[in-house]
Structure 1
């Protein structure tokens, strides 16, 4: 039974659970489908005997089950869509008093273990607990949009190059009428995008960045296009990449790692609440502003799948890819939880836990599981516990992917005493404050030569009209 069918089956589930299952959101139903296991029984098999501990909840998806207490009690026949073992879900400590005898050969049963059910559902009051922008934030964003709506490419002056990618480069720029501010301009070659069939990724990146507003996500203000390039006018963060700091220091202590991980968690919380998965978490994609606060950049692999939905695209940096991506089982925001665990490990130790001489060897090591990895002594027990709970093989068991979402990560012992509200308000000191001498200071970035290539003109195909 496919994951999609399971979600539909649960949504239409009848009788006792109608009020509960039909009120669940798609993301919770999807998580329930993940923990369902399919079991087959043969004709006249006993499923539960009298006096057995009721620790399993069954839903019949095919065939029939006969229920009786003793020979004097009339037999009741259960069929597709019926359920039993419900007391274990309601109370988690009762004994099943009935005998269930299977009548039809090869009938399939789907069961939920109560622990998983409790973790995923809990009280239904919190199911629809989402993050929304305040009126003050919305007003600020509208004013910002109005300001940048009148900016054109002719208003932009290029200062120097901050970074380079496969088919893009990032320039430090200023607006000609404002010498007190600077911006980052991401320049992408249209011909290269077409040659590599990246149109969908680029348009998705733009849509997501225009939607995701968080102090921990790089801001996209405006986009432009001409016959050769696409342009994205971004917030300038002149503190450099987190990867540069990690490279220079070798590894971070608990306090430093906790701060930067906290910034990433806040960014992921914003994305996940909007049904967006990031899929490319690594130190190279975390940039520091002038205060030393971290922000996520590069949303080329990000995708809006919707709450409770999955996607099957294979993408990401090999060392950070979750097992379900490798196995093509479909993945959702829980893949970001896995990558968060890998990030914590790398920041504390200086290198990721899974690494091979080539991607295929790395994937094989990942599939062996986090429990096969020997943790360096510098990683404390509480940090190791957090990493292992983020990197559970089963996505439904990962911290951050259960009923309380990222709150479960924030309440973990490793974060004990951490000032989350101070982080959100920007009132706590960062562990490292970059030296930034002004809006044109690029000293925290490596040197890159000017781009002398003159790409061909892209014949207007219409795919870039959104820019």
Structure 2
């Protein structure tokens, strides 16, 4: 059974990315070393797939670090700045040590040309081993932000270049920018040698071509023989009529030099945007603009909002027994009043009353649902209405380095309004913490349901000499929840993602642990810490998500949009039905091995024999490695998924209206064990909260002043 997965992020980048500065007095790698370093890095997943010019730019920004004999370069468990670099050994020797049963054991030796720390180029992952110099040594260091700067620069340039090419094609003039961006990922790159014919006059074709590199000659047949009619260079295009209909080619195109073309099939174009004839006939008018997806706007500004006081009452154990501790926090009037909409009026006071009492929110804290050293989630009761909520508390100092995620979660969860998305009712802060007040979801999450429903079964599997299934021996295998139960949950998530995408929001961290169960058995998508608003067809480049669930375009830092959520849905569906992740065979604890499988088109996902053909087909279409061809990203968007055979008898309108009876009601046993574990964890970490310096507290106050 797959365990609980931890989300990670490579760090957010605000606006236009800039090249990070190297450490003071850093000695950059020398030109004579470039080829050697490139060869060493070429074996890595992330580096090996890059354009040679980008590889050279990255290598030129690496710098030397001297490591005297006996010094530790990497310490097992380190995070943050100590875990943001990859190293290539220039000289000397290192031993790699791992702690096993309390003892450091040598597991490897690193010498000239060896590299280590690849996963640090993706995200802040704790170092998995200690690396120490056994003799005086020198390494070349590559910083994560430097690497991702150049990869992002490459992808943005390529996207802009193809978009510019498409702008010059007359028959595509009616496409919006968002539609052109959707086409960018659909192009395939083909190479032709000098003298090779690309298309032949009279032949039928369905490909449209854009010249990326090289030159080509265009010929036409005449009564006097073949005549040259054009010479094509970079950014020129041909064969565009093939996007309209199947008709004979009107000329022959032959490569004059080595020719690299971007090609697009008519079938692919229609899958993504629909028939071109309809798009050409469409007027560029206000009607077209009105069809664009609505954008969520914050309901109110942080500026000039009347302040409000929040009192949090909680039990505190002391030497003389339990006492009531009152924590004072500050919020805003609109958020305090939001809680009272539709609730019980305060005694003798209208929800809109003036005065200090109207500006005060009193919460009584109860059971802790989860937590650790820097955060916790607990049940609270709002005194004026008696309504219960979930209170999420985060230590400011733990999130001050990535405030973008916090503010995105605040804005998005405050404005979402869908039955299958968790809603935020208030946000406030005290000296040390940030708080969110959310819907209370007492039924645990989908991982709790999976643990309760999964079982080991025996199935006859033909193998080896056993060709006939009924004679084959029975094999034990893990089975997740039933397809009927999974269909209810997956269908609900499809509706939630459709709503988010229609409002320009990409979720980015879909997994069982982030899908919560309410008291009636319905699900709500929660934990919007990685969610982000995308506008005008833009992409985002931040690596975030959970290893095993991240999409190929996320792993390779190619820039992505809503496509990653549909990939995540495919992984989630596989996990719910099988109890394991699709890229976990053969079993490995190394996240880089999983990442390689995710991007490797030759890696075949293994489906257990009990899965229905329809389930396998839907999963495979969602786990399409090319985002433009992934189900959910084609012309009909989420409707393609809704109309899939696996959902054949699902009443979508009844489900969204919550008129469909939940097939499984939450049981106390589902989450009781995990809650107990979390409470124990809370006790263990209760005395380990950080002691911030005055300077750190001042920084937190400045960063979160508008929270």
TM-score tier, shorter chain, comes to 0.7 to 0.9
**Mean alpha-carbon deviation: is it higher for 52-61 or for 367-376?**
367-376
Q: How do 1:161-176 residues align onto structure 2 when only pairs under 5 Å count?
A: 161-164=368-371, 167-176=374-383
What stretches of structure 1 of length at least 5 have no aligned partner?
138-142, 437-441
Q: Computing the radius of gyration over CA atoms, which structure comes out larger, 1 or 2?
A: 2
2:398 aligned with 1:192:
yes
**Mean alpha-carbon deviation: is it higher for 384-393 or for 368-377?**
368-377
Q: Given that residues 369 and 393 in structure 1 are in contact (C-alpha distance below 8 angstroms), is that contact kept between their aligned partners in structure 2?
A: yes
Q: How far apart are 1:107 and its partner, in Å?
A: 5.1
Please state which structure has a larger fraction of its residues in strand.
2
Q: How do 1:404-443 residues align onto structure 2 when only pairs under 5 Å count?
A: 404-434=636-666
Q: Given that residues 14 and 82 in structure 1 are in contact (C-alpha distance below 8 angstroms), is that contact kept between their aligned partners in structure 2?
A: no
Q: Given that residues 153 and 224 in structure 1 are in contact (C-alpha distance below 8 angstroms), is that contact kept between their aligned partners in structure 2?
A: no
Instruction: Give secondary structure in 2 for the equivalent of 1:201.
Output: helix
Q: Given that residues 238 and 289 in structure 1 are in contact (C-alpha distance below 8 angstroms), is that contact kept between their aligned partners in structure 2?
A: yes
The residue number in structure 1 matching 2:263 is: 111
2:379 aligned with 1:147:
no
Taking a change above 3 Å as real, the CA distance of residues 274 and 147 of structure 1, as seen in their structure-2 partners, is closer
Instruction: Give secondary structure in 2 for the equivalent of 1:206.
Output: helix
Paired residue for 2:580, among 351, 358, 363?
351
**Mean alpha-carbon deviation: is it higher for 256-265 or for 78-87?**
78-87
Counterpart Cα distance in 1 of 2:424 and 2:572 = 25
Q: Given that residues 370 and 391 in structure 1 are in contact (C-alpha distance below 8 angstroms), is that contact kept between their aligned partners in structure 2?
A: no
The residue number in structure 2 matching 1:140 is: none
- Work out which structure has the larger RCO, using CA pairs closer than 8 Å and 6 or more positions apart in sequence: 1
The residue number in structure 1 matching 2:308 is: none
Instruction: Give secondary structure in 1 for the equivalent of 2:698.
Output: coil
Taking a change above 3 Å as real, the CA distance of residues 232 and 254 of structure 1, as seen in their structure-2 partners, is same
Q: How far apart are 1:129 and its partner, in Å?
A: 4.7
The residue number in structure 2 matching 1:329 is: 558
Q: How do 1:220-235 residues align onto structure 2 when only pairs under 5 Å count?
A: 220-235=424-439
**Mean alpha-carbon deviation: is it higher for 296-305 or for 36-45?**
36-45
Q: How far apart are 1:411 and its partner, in Å?
A: 0.5
TM-score between the two structures when normalised by the length of structure 1: 0.87
Taking a change above 3 Å as real, the CA distance of residues 131 and 30 of structure 1, as seen in their structure-2 partners, is closer
The count of residues paired between Structure 1 and Structure 2 equals 448
Deviation digits for residues 397-421 of structure 1, max 9, x if unmatched? Answer: 1100111111100000000011100
The residue number in structure 1 matching 2:705 is: 465
2:210 aligned with 1:59:
yes
Deviation digits for residues 276-301 of structure 1, max 9, x if unmatched? Answer: 22121111111011111111111122
2:204 aligned with 1:24:
no
Instruction: Give secondary structure in 2 for the equivalent of 1:460.
Output: helix
2:400 aligned with 1:182:
no
Q: Given that residues 216 and 253 in structure 2 are in contact (C-alpha distance below 8 angstroms), is that contact kept between their aligned partners in structure 1?
A: no
Deviation digits for residues 266-320 of structure 1, max 9, x if unmatched? Answer: 1111221222221211111110111111111111222223352222222211111
Q: How far apart are 1:259 and its partner, in Å?
A: 0.5
Taking a change above 3 Å as real, the CA distance of residues 326 and 127 of structure 1, as seen in their structure-2 partners, is farther
Q: Given that residues 238 and 290 in structure 1 are in contact (C-alpha distance below 8 angstroms), is that contact kept between their aligned partners in structure 2?
A: yes
Q: Given that residues 183 and 235 in structure 1 are in contact (C-alpha distance below 8 angstroms), is that contact kept between their aligned partners in structure 2?
A: yes
Counterpart Cα distance in 2 of 1:127 and 1:349 = 44
TM-score between the two structures when normalised by the length of structure 2: 0.59
Instruction: Give secondary structure in 1 for the equivalent of 2:675.
Output: coil
Q: Given that residues 295 and 503 in structure 2 are in contact (C-alpha distance below 8 angstroms), is that contact kept between their aligned partners in structure 1?
A: no
Counterpart Cα distance in 1 of 2:429 and 2:658 = 35
Counterpart Cα distance in 1 of 2:336 and 2:221 = 69
Q: Given that residues 363 and 382 in structure 2 are in contact (C-alpha distance below 8 angstroms), is that contact kept between their aligned partners in structure 1?
A: yes
Q: How far apart are 1:5 and its partner, in Å?
A: 1.6
Counterpart Cα distance in 1 of 2:177 and 2:665 = 42
The CA RMSD over aligned residues, in Å, is 3.1
Counterpart Cα distance in 2 of 1:153 and 1:283 = 36
The residue number in structure 2 matching 1:84 is: 238
Counterpart Cα distance in 1 of 2:648 and 2:373 = 41
**Mean alpha-carbon deviation: is it higher for 200-209 or for 249-258?**
200-209
Taking a change above 3 Å as real, the CA distance of residues 40 and 425 of structure 1, as seen in their structure-2 partners, is same
Counterpart Cα distance in 1 of 2:199 and 2:295 = 50
The residue number in structure 2 matching 1:278 is: 507
**Mean alpha-carbon deviation: is it higher for 416-425 or for 124-133?**
124-133
Taking a change above 3 Å as real, the CA distance of residues 153 and 322 of structure 1, as seen in their structure-2 partners, is farther
Counterpart Cα distance in 1 of 2:383 and 2:413 = 25
Instruction: Give secondary structure in 2 for the equivalent of 1:66.
Output: strand
2:253 aligned with 1:49:
no
Paired residue for 1:12, among 167, 172, 177?
167
Paired residue for 1:122, among 251, 265, 274?
274
Taking a change above 3 Å as real, the CA distance of residues 351 and 102 of structure 1, as seen in their structure-2 partners, is closer
Taking a change above 3 Å as real, the CA distance of residues 293 and 42 of structure 1, as seen in their structure-2 partners, is same
Paired residue for 1:208, among 405, 412, 425?
412
Counterpart Cα distance in 2 of 1:158 and 1:349 = 38
Paired residue for 2:522, among 293, 298, 322?
293
The residue number in structure 2 matching 1:96 is: 249
Counterpart Cα distance in 2 of 1:84 and 1:402 = 24
2:573 aligned with 1:366:
no
Taking a change above 3 Å as real, the CA distance of residues 373 and 8 of structure 1, as seen in their structure-2 partners, is closer
Paired residue for 1:33, among 184, 201, 213?
184
